[in-house]
Amino acid sequence: MAEIEREAMEYDVVIVGAGPAGLSAAIRLKQLDADLNVVVLEKGSEVGAHILSGAVLDPCGLDALIPDWKEKGAPLNVPVKADNFYVLGEAGQIRVPNWPMPPLMNNHGNYIVSMANVCRWMAEQAEELGVEIFPGMSCSELVYGDNGEVKGVVAGVFGLEADGSYGPNTEPGMELHGKYVFLSEGVRGSLAKEVIAKYDLQKGKEPQKFGIGMKEIWEIDPAKHREGTVTHTMGWPLGGNAGGGSFIYHLDNNQVYVGFVVHLNYKNPHLFPYMEFQRFKHHPMVAELLKGGKRVAYGARAITEGGYQSMPKMVAPGVALLGCSVGMVNVPRIKGNHNAMLSGKAAAEAAYDAIQAGRQSDELSAYETEVRTGAIGKDLKKVRNVKPMWSKWGLVPSLALGGLDMWTNTLGFSLFGTLGHGKTDAAATEEASKHKPIDYPKPDGTISFDRLTNVSFAATNHEESQPCHLRLTDPDVPVKVNLPKYAEPAQRYCPAGVYEVVEDESGPRFVVNFQNCVHCKTCDIKDPSQNITWVTPQGGDGPNYPNM
C-alpha cells in the first residue's frame, strides 16, 4: 500500500523461512564471508515451531555443510538399525524383502530425527556465525525494485483490522532489502507462489504434484519399542482410491512417529484423507504396536511430489527459490531435507560469487545449474518416473515398473524416458456423482481420534480478531459450485477441520474456522475451483510442534 510508510533495513541476503534450506543458506554465506549481512525471517513463534517432516534424515546435506556436525552436538542420535517395507491388506500384511530394492532405497547410514530440533540446532550454528534470525516475523509482501526485480520483503505487520485494513493499532512492519532474496518457505509458500506466477517460472515444466502428510507422535509400551526401526507400508486402507502410504519410525525415549501420506491427485471427492489415516491405525499390525500407548502430538503438512520434471525455474531477478519452494522431495525415499540443505548451500555459493563480482538483483543462474546437474538433480532424476507410474497404473504395476526404472537409472539409463504428470491435483478431482461416498468408522478415542481433538495436540493458535488468512476469491463458489458438483471436498481434505458446510434456515452456509489451521496448504492445492488462497497470517501464529 503506497500510503504506508515503513522503515527499511539493508542486508546482503534476506532469507524467508528458517527451515533446513534457509538455515543452510545462512550458514554457508557466513562460512564464505563473515562480513556478509544475512537475516533469516521465520513466521513461527520459534525456529522449529512449524517444522513437520517424515524425519528419517540422510546426513549427506549436513556432511557437506558442517562436516563436524557430530562434534558440534547435532541432534542425530538414533541411527537406522532396521528397515521394513510392507504391503497391507485389511487383516494382514506381506513383507517386501530388501534385497530387490535399488541401493538408493537403503536407509543404512541415515538417522531418525526430529527435524524441528535439527533446525533449532542449525539456528544456533547460524547465530554463532553472526546470522540475524527473527522468529515470529511473517513476510506478507514482496518489495519490487524499479526494474521489476525482487528487492526485499515486508515483515512484521501486526494488528490489522478483521477486514484486512490498517487501523489505529496496526504496526505496519518494515521492509528488509537485500542484494538477493531467498524464499525457503516450504511447500506452497505464498511469496514463492507469487514469484512463480509473476515470472512464469513453471513454463515448460510439468505441473507440481502434492501429497498431504499427517503425523502423530506416540509414547508406546517399552516392551514394543525398537529404537532405530523404520517401517513403510502401502496398500490398505487406500487401495485403489488414492496413492499413498505410511511410515512408522521408532526414535528414542519409547517414542514412535506414526505418519500417513495421501497423494492429492485422488479423483473421488468423497475421500477423507484424515479418516484414512485414523483407519490405518486399526490395522492389526499397527493397533498392536499402539495398544497401551498414548498420542502426544499431531501435525499435518503438504508434501511436494512432482520431482525432477516439475521443478520450476528457480531464479528470477533478485530472487531464488530453495528447498520445498521448488519441490525437491525424493518420493520413493520420502526424503527431502538433505536436498533442501544442499539447495541452501548452492544458493549461498552462487550469491557469494555474485556479490564478490559486484553484482546484485540479477538471476543466480549458477544456482539453478548446480541444482539441476549436481547432487540434487542426480538424486531426483533417478526416481522421476515413480510418481507418474503410480498415478497412471496403480500400486502393483508401479512397484514392479518403478523398481525396474530405479535400477536402470542407477545404471545410467531409463526404458521409459521421462514420464509426465498431466493434470494438477485440483483438476484431478472428479464430480461427486461419478463416485460413491465412503463410509468411515467412527474414531474410538483410544487409537483413532476426531480431527478437532487431534488439532489440539498441534498447539495451533491464531488471534481471532486478525483477518482470515484463508481467502476466498469468490465467497459464493463453495455453496453454489463446489457443494452441488463436488460435495464440497474442503470439508474432508482439510486435516484440521477448518471448513464446514452448516445448514440453517436460509440453507447451506460455508464456514471457515481459520483458528484451527495448521498451515498445511492443502486447501490452496486441492480445491477443485482453485478458489482458496492461503496467505501468511501474522507472525507467531499457527502450530507449535515440540519434537516433530
CATH architecture of the domain with range 8-70+116-205+312-382: 3-Layer(bba) Sandwich (3.50)
Give pLDDT, residue 1. 43
8-16/174-183 β-pairing: parallel
Residue carrying the nine cell digits 495451533: 460
Are 420 and 388 in contact, with CB atoms under 8 Å apart? yes
Give pLDDT, residue 350. 98
> Which amino acid appears at position 39 of this protein?
V
Compute the distance between CA of residue 421 and CA of residue 428 in angstroms, rounded to an integer: 11
Are 133 and 45 in contact, with CB atoms under 8 Å apart? no
| Beta bridge partners of residue 300, listed in sequence order | 214
Cα dihedral 70, 73, 74, 75, rounded to 10, equals 120
Residue carrying the nine cell digits 533469516: 40
Cell numbers at 2, concatenated:
503506497
Q: Which strand (E) or helix (H) includes residue 511?
A: strand 507-512
Q: Which one, of 524, 527, 450, lies nearest residue 485 by Cα?
A: 527
Give pLDDT, residue 2. 46
Give pLDDT, residue 238. 96
139-144/93-95 β-pairing: unpaired
User: pLDDT digit string (tens) for 42-61?
Assistant: 999 999 999 998 789 999 99
Give pLDDT, residue 181. 98
Burial class (CB in 10 A: 0-12, 13-18, 19+), 130: middle
Task: With a cut of 70, list the residues of the chain below it in pLDDT.
Answer: 1-3
CA 133 centroid distance within chain = 21
Residues contacting 1, CB < 8 A, separation 6+: 166
Residue carrying the nine cell digits 533446513: 20
DSSP code string of 16-61: E--SHHHHHHHHHHHHH-TT--EEEEE-SSSTTTT-----EE-THH
Give pLDDT, residue 162. 85
Sign of CA dihedral 449, 499, 323, 137: negative
> Which amino acid appears at position 361 of this protein?
S
Compute the distance between CA of residue 88 and CA of residue 281 in angstroms, rounded to an integer: 12
Residue-level length of the chain: 548
Domain ranges across the chain: 8-70+116-205+312-382
User: pLDDT digit string (tens) for 340-370?
Assistant: 999 999 999 999 999 999 999 999 999 999 9
